[in-house]
Structure formats: C-alpha cells, structure tokens
Structure 1
Amino acid sequence: MNQASGQPSPERIMQIATGNWAQSILATSAIHSLFNHLEAGADTPEQVSKTAGLSPRGTQALLDGLVGLGLVESRDGLYRNSPEASAFLVEGKPGYLGGFAQVVFAGPPNRADLPEVARTGVPVTPEPADLPENPFWEQLVPAIAPLSVPSALAAAEHLGLATTGPVSILDVGGGSGIYSSVWLAMNPQARSTQIDWANVNRIATRLVAEHGVGDRFHTTDGDFHTTDFGTDLYDVAVYSHIAHQESPADNQAVFTKFRQALKPGGTLVVNDFVVEDDRSGPPFPLIFHTTMLLQTTQGSTWTRNDYRTWLTDAGFTDVTFQPTASPATLVYAR
C-alpha cells in the first residue's frame, strides 16, 4: 500500500520478483567475506575493496545492494554491519549463516523447474535423500548446523538437560551432530548416539570433536528407515529437520520406532518447519513447501495436526508445541 496515496503499491511484488537478486548479493558478499571485513573495521569502499581483493566497482555495487537489503548501514560515506549481519553473517560466530546462503545460491533445487514440477508433482532431479554419497550433503550439513542452535538451546532448557545427570540421547538423521555438540557440552554425564549416512557421520564426528565432547558421541552408519533403533535405550531422542522430506507413512513408521527406543517416560524432540492447521502461516514454512515439491516425491511442510496424529498413533500420549527464535517449531512427545 502506498502510504501517501492509500493506493496499492507494486513495491512488494517487485521485491519478490527480484528475490534472486537479493540472494546473489548475500551469497557473493559471504563468499568474499565482506561482513568479516566490515566487522574488523574496514568502513569505506576503498578499505573493503582492498581487504576483500575486489574491484572498486564490484565493491560499491555489493555495498549498495547490502544497504538496500538492510544488512549493511551507511552514514556519511562510512559502512558497518547491521545488528543481524553482525550476529549471523560474520564467519566464526556460532550463528553464522553465510555458508547456508552460499549453498542455497549454488546448490539444488533449480527453481526454473518449478512450473513443470507444479504441473506434474514429481521432481525433475533425483531426491538428495536417495543419494547418500551425494556431495550435496557434505556441503549442506555444516552450512545448516547454525539453524538448529536456537532449537537445541530451547529444547535443552525445556527439558532441563543441563541438570538431569546421566542421560542417553538418540539423534536420528542428526547431520552435523549439532544437538549432540550443544547438549553434551551442557551435561558432562550425557552420552549421544547418531544414526545417519556414513559420509554424514564422518562430518558429525569431526564437528562434535571440535566442540570437545567427541568422547561421548557415537555413530551408527545406515539408513534410518531400515536401521533398528533398539528398545528402551534412550531418555531423549531427536528428529530434526527430517520430517519435511518424508511421507506421512514414513513419519508414522519412524515415530513408532522412536517410541520403542525410548525408555518409559522418555521424550522425543521433533524440530521442523511446522505450519498452522489451516495453513495460514508461519510465512517461512509455507514458502519452504515449494523446496520440498522440487526435491522430494512426497515431502511437505506438515501441520500441527499431522504431528499430533502420527505421534498419537505411534503410542505417544502427550504432544506439545514450542515456537523458537528460528523459523522452526519444536514438538515434544512423551
């Protein structure tokens, strides 16, 4: 809406139509570590150009784009990171999302396929989940780890994991091992087991060791659809950002295996992009649905009622939901 005239404005449509411009500016700036240079004190285009090894023309174009996106602030010819850029786009900080921006920019899916896939309902390219040794996973897994940190911290607080004493954790499809890294650091008596593809587990083993808790982290290589989780072994189990790529039947099946693997009174923690039952929000999970359309044959962003139904049918009797500081929602089932 045009504030002055009260008439509809095309600005929002222009922003959406040129969304790939914003994506390319963010990813290119992350590739050249512009946010690190700004954070370190380079505050003029000349200084940024020199420290980043970029042309003056390219530097000014990127800085202008970042200012337009609200990621960099400009005043009297001097530039600095916005609070969001300082928190999430400076390499080395725990919330760093620049790697994620680069993976989204360079990796699958091909958005130009969306018209055809919307017509057929079938991906043009194979599902990454069907290709366990696909290098895509080795690029994606470390890049998306920071996305789960807010959820891991919120779940730990909710469950009181830091003060529970000895606790056994099962992380299925755990990727980078970020939950194990966070939770084992909080509780020196906790132990964790992760089930994932062998190449992904190798990444997790390295990253968890870098957090200094690798001696209490173990992995099982395999496809979680067919791997046995055991019976009455774990106090807490995690299923993070996996449900959206699975079919309803597969989610139902894995929740049943989780219920068997948990000790009496144990808790399953599901972290994912959950939408309201009437599919009216939240915005990011709704938009993310198209990624599942492009990459999977049956994946989606599932509703709260979907999770309630699957978990109840799997034998859980207490299902609750908790929003997080990220676009994801935590689901607890006991």
Structure 2
Amino acid sequence: MNTNQPTPDRIMQLVNGYWATGILGAAASHSLFTHLETGADTAGQLAAQAGISERGAQTLLDGLVSLGLVELRDGSYRNTAEAATFLVEGQPACLSNFAKLKLAHMGNLVTLPEVVRTGGPVTDATVEVADNPHWEEVVQAIAAQSVPVATVAADMLRLAEAGEISILDVGGGSGIYSATWLELNPAARSTQLDWGPINAIARRLLAERGTADRFTCIDGDFHTTDFGTAAYDIAVYSHIAHQEGPEDNIAIFTKLRDAVKPGGTLVINDYIVDDDRSGPPFPLIFASEMLLKSKQGGTWRRAAYHAWLAKAGFENVSFHPTPSPTTLVFAR
C-alpha cells in the first residue's frame, strides 16, 4: 500500500464537523465540564448530576474524548487542562455560553451557498438594532473571549501602574475591558459608548466587580455620537472592525484619534489576516460569519489597518499576538 496516497479521512472530519459544534454545545448545555470538574467521573455519575440519560451522557463523553476535551484513564473521565480552563462554569474565561450560542446558530449556515452567490445576507435581519433582546444572551456569551486579551493588553500598557488615566471603550458590549482594567488600576476611570440596552448589561458587570463608581456609559450609536477631543489616555475598539466596512473604520479611527490625548493609545483587538491572506486559520474562516451577517464586514488584512490608521492620523502602529485567535493593534 502506498502510504503517500491521499485518504478521505480529513475531508470526512470536515464534512461532519457540525458534530463537534453539536457535541460541545450539548455538553455545555448540561454543564458536563463543570460536573466533571467537581468529581463526577463516570457516565452514570454524570447522568445523575446533569439530569440526563446515561446513554446520552456516555455518547457525549465519547464525543468529547474524540474531540480531545475529555480524557479517559482507568475507566474514569476527566477534563483536559484546556477544558478545565475554558469550559468550567464560573471561570472568568469560560466559553460554555458561547458554545451554546453557536449551537443555536448552526441552522443559519444552510443559507451560505446563497449568501456566497449574492455577496451578503439574504434576509433583512434586524439583529443590529439596539432593542433586540438577543443582546442579553450574546453580549455575555462573547465576553469571556476578551478576558485573556484584555489582561495581556493591560500588561503591555502597564495599566496597573499608570495612575489616574481615562479610558474610552467604543462598542464595549459587556464592559469586560473596563471591568478588567479598573480592577487592575484603582485610580483609572472608564467610559463605554454603546447602545442603551447593552450598556445596562455592562453596568451590571461593573457593579458585580465593585468598580461601577468609576464607570460611565454614553448611550448612543458610535457611528454618529461624538467621542470628544483629547479626553482619553486610552481608547478601545475591540471586535468592532470586522463588522464595519473600510470607510466606516476610517471614519471611526479618525474620531478616535481626535478623542485620545497627545501620546495616548488606541487599542484594537480583532481577527486580522496576513497580507497575502494565507492565515491565520481562524480569522480566515471567520470571514464567512461576516458574509452571513454583515453587509460590509470582513476579516481585514494588516495592510488595511495600517492604511486606515495612517489616514486617520496615527503615526505609530504595531501588531501583537494574543493567547486567542485575535491580534492586538496599538496605534499612537
């Protein structure tokens, strides 16, 4: 047998890739990773703890072992280090809610062939409106993704020792950047600009963290709301650029350049692709999400960020990897 001959194994894994989303989403829905972490280590114990059938528990465990999220040793199951860190409920970077969210979104992919043909969403969805009740679920589900990145950015900017600084978070969503940074620096203050219903979610998080007294919200649309002039030491634009087109990003970067003080820093966090679009893998595949859900968004190249930021008036732009599929950009 010629071992150099191609096999269909990887293609079969990709064709059936939706099973990974289903298994992970179902396991998260029944808190299996949390039950494993607290001592349940057999299908029977997990079934009893989660209130599911033993057959169902065994099937999910088999799938999770296949996915490399659960280990089986001497008849006992346990979380891998990866699952224990990112899928156990109560951890600040827990992605279980995000896994459940993506399970609910799976059906949307059946429209992708038509979306590819037309070049954008095929329905007039009203997702991107302030009063959509889905924000309550979505904003909190995606917050955990930003925890490691916000911490890395804070270390790089030495925020803990920066003293009395002012922060602007544009489209801040859950308020996770403000929450993380205000905890690190008790002299800092932060302002979030977002739609009113989303700011209400952020205020709850900051109250839970005990930093609400240094947190202010501006209810509004960042496309039309004024950011102020030379008012902030640091501005944040996280996971926003991918949903905007080039002209809107330039316009917002220009407003942000005006909003930061001389010597201040704009922090961008997003899925950014290499200039030749050869990688990284996750930002490349995330582009399909933007094709499905936005009329102008995409995963943009580093060169695009350079050009947009230069046009907005920033002179010093640097790119930094993170412990996630995103890239941090610092612009001054």
TM-score of the pair, normalised by structure 2: 0.98
The one of 5, 21, 24 equivalent to 1:23 is 21
1:55-204 alignment runs, 5 A limit: 55-107=53-105, 110-126=108-124, 130-204=128-202
SS of the equivalent of 2:223 reads coil
Structure 2 Cα separation of the partners of residues 109 and 294 of structure 1:
12
Structure 1 Cα separation of the partners of residues 150 and 289 of structure 2:
24
> Runs of 5+ in structure 1 lacking a partner?
none
User: Is 2:248 aligned against 1:250?
Assistant: yes
Structure 1 Cα separation of the partners of residues 314 and 62 of structure 2:
52
Structure 1 Cα separation of the partners of residues 308 and 141 of structure 2:
30
- How far 1:9 sits from its partner (Å)? 2.1
> Runs of 5+ in structure 2 lacking a partner?
none
Structure 1 Cα separation of the partners of residues 124 and 322 of structure 2:
32
1:289 maps to which residue?
A: 287
Contact 1:22 1:69 survives alignment (8 Å) = yes
1:218 maps to which residue?
A: 216
Distance 1:323 1:129, change over 3 A: farther
Structure 1 Cα separation of the partners of residues 9 and 220 of structure 2:
48
- Aligned partner letter, 1:146: A
SS of the equivalent of 1:110 reads helix
2:274 maps to which residue?
A: 276
- Aligned partner letter, 2:282: F
1:237 maps to which residue?
A: 235
- How far 1:280 sits from its partner (Å)? 0.4
User: Is 2:15 aligned against 1:36?
Assistant: no
Structure 2 Cα separation of the partners of residues 59 and 25 of structure 1:
11
Runs of 4+ in 1 over 4 A off after TM superposition: none
- How far 1:157 sits from its partner (Å)? 1.0
Contact 1:128 1:136 survives alignment (8 Å) = no
Percent identity reads: 61
Q: Give the total of aligned pairs.
A: 332
Structure 2 Cα separation of the partners of residues 167 and 322 of structure 1:
23
TM-score of the pair, normalised by structure 1: 0.97
Structure 2 Cα separation of the partners of residues 181 and 323 of structure 1:
22
- How far 1:214 sits from its partner (Å)? 0.9
Structure 2 Cα separation of the partners of residues 219 and 10 of structure 1:
53
- How far 1:149 sits from its partner (Å)? 1.2
- How far 1:124 sits from its partner (Å)? 1.9
Contact 1:240 1:272 survives alignment (8 Å) = yes
* Root-mean-square deviation over aligned CA pairs: 1.3
